[in-house]
Amino acid sequence: MEEVRTQVAIIGAGPAGMLLSHLLAADGVETVVVESRSEEYVAGRIRAGILEQSTVDLLRASGLGERLELEGDRHRGIYLQWPGQRHHLDFVDLTGRSVWVYGQTEVQKDLVAARTAAGQQVHYEIESTALHDLETDSPSVTFIDAAGAERRIVADAIAGCDGSFGPSRVAVPEDVRSTWEKVYPYSWLGVLADVAPSTDELIYAWHPDGFALHSMRSESVSRLYLQVPNDTPVSEWPDDRIWEALATRLGHGQDGWTMTPGPITEKSVLPMHSFVQSPMRHGRLFLAGDAAHIVPPTGAKGLNLAVADVGLLAPALAELLLKGDARLADAYSDTALRRVWRCTHFSWWMTTMLHQSGDPFERELQLSQLRWVTSSEAGATGLAENYAGLPIGF
């Protein structure tokens, strides 16, 4: 077996893994990244679209802000609506913070470009990833590379950035880890369409037929979501049915607002669940991003949480490995989980406020909550503070 040594072995080349590699390199810490998919597959996944203020601050501060500056679209807030009502929540007025429309695909491109320019070693299309000796100072990762060769990376620490299906979270012994999980009784049908957005800011719509969201990727690409029952086959939703449902739920014709349909280029159904695993560190294994927690997408927090984790983990590993100072590394799990639980609550709250559960009592509570959030400055500020994001380290 071919063996190499590095300081940090990073499992997963998604945003968490690649950003960690980038931040550690800036601190002078060497990493090797391993990824089970191809570079093209990871780059092409249509996922998150919204960056919160602290994510943008961190990307800018680490030299990744150039294209974001040019092509990202700063938004002041969102619309919240229900039949007959549309309200704008202005995060800048309420909290002084804003959000950016800049797709995860773009963040990933910027990260890959920066790491490639720096000569970063990334093994794509690997198999049989396994973690070893986590409770020692020389943990290792073994895998079979794209050419079929068996390899071992011996490191000072391992970063598990391998998302919700990777091997890292389950490498923490069962008697050490606690997990919390909630599966929601609905999914999202997400579509990407080659049509200019029909709105200047995102619209989150409560509707008796189910939740709908109008988001966007650029001046010419819209991203739209519809609440559908779990296990809905995409084939049940031909394009005409999608546009009709979006028009109804988003309020086409309401107060003169119109929605323009266009060619749909991508369509998929995604289930919604919440998951948290604690602790986020075991010995020399550190978990970050979706490997440690999943949120339903309603609060737009998944990618932002991954970035926040890595923003804490990079300095913690640098202090540990370069100066032998374990204080930040020892505090990492508790510090990260504080924000994770805040975002877990916010995502659950947004989700349960906006989706139809079929319970008439919950429906009245939702409408009461929506009226409060859109008419009281205190209510609106709470939503804005969470959506635009608390400072890293909160």
Contact footprint for ligand RFL (CB under 6 A): 11-17, 34-37, 42, 47-50, 104, 126, 129, 161-163, 165-167, 190, 270, 289-290, 297, 300-304, 306
Query: Residue 37: what are its φ and ψ, rounded to 5°?
Result: -95, 180
| Residue window 252-291: x/- pattern of binding to ligand PHB, with contact defined by CB under 6 A | ----------------------------------------
Q: Figure out which of the listed residues 31, 36, 168, 298 binds ligand PHB, where binding follows CB under 6 A.
A: 298
Rounded Cα–Cα distance for residues 378 and 375 (Å):
9
Element (H, E) at 214: strand 212-216
> Is 41 considered catalytic here?
no
Contact call for residue 80 and ligand PHB (CB under 6 A): no
Q: Minimum Å distance from CB 48 to ligand PHB?
A: 6
Q: Minimum Å distance from CB 354 to ligand PHB?
A: 10
Select from ligand RFL, ligand PHB, none the partner in contact with residue 11, using the beta carbon and a kind-dependent cut-off of 5 to 8 Å: ligand RFL
| Residue window 183-222: x/- pattern of binding to ligand PHB, with contact defined by CB under 6 A | -------------------x------------x-------
> Is 102 considered catalytic here?
no
> Is 109 considered catalytic here?
no
Sequence-distant (≥ 6) Cβ neighbours of residue 141 within 8 angstroms: 9, 11, 34, 129, 130, 131, 132, 152, 153, 155, 158
Dihedral, CA atoms, 128, 129, 132, 136, nearest 10 degrees? 170
Rounded Cα–Cα distance for residues 270 and 187 (Å):
6
Sequence-distant (≥ 6) Cβ neighbours of residue 338 within 8 angstroms: 394
Q: Minimum Å distance from CB 348 to ligand PHB?
A: 13
> Is 75 considered catalytic here?
yes
Q: Minimum Å distance from CB 374 to ligand RFL?
A: 21
Contact call for residue 72 and ligand PHB (CB under 6 A): no
Question: Are the CB atoms for 25 and 273 separated by under 8 Å?
Answer: no
Q: Taking the mean position of all CA atoms in its chain, how far away is CA 275?
A: 13
What secondary structure letter does DSSP report for 306?
H
> Is 267 considered catalytic here?
no
Rounded Cα–Cα distance for residues 73 and 58 (Å):
17
Q: Which is nearer to ligand RFL, 115 or 301 (CB)?
A: 301
Element (H, E) at 65: none
Write the single-letter amino acid at 63.
Answer: G
Which part of the chain contacts ligand PHB (CB under 6 A), choosing from 31-39, 46-54, 135-143, 158-166?
Answer: 46-54
Count of CB atoms within 10 A of residue 237's CB?
18
Catalytic residue numbers, as ranges: 75, 204, 297, 301, 387
Residues at the site binding ligand PHB, with contacts judged by CB under 6 A: 48-50, 202, 215, 223, 297-298, 300
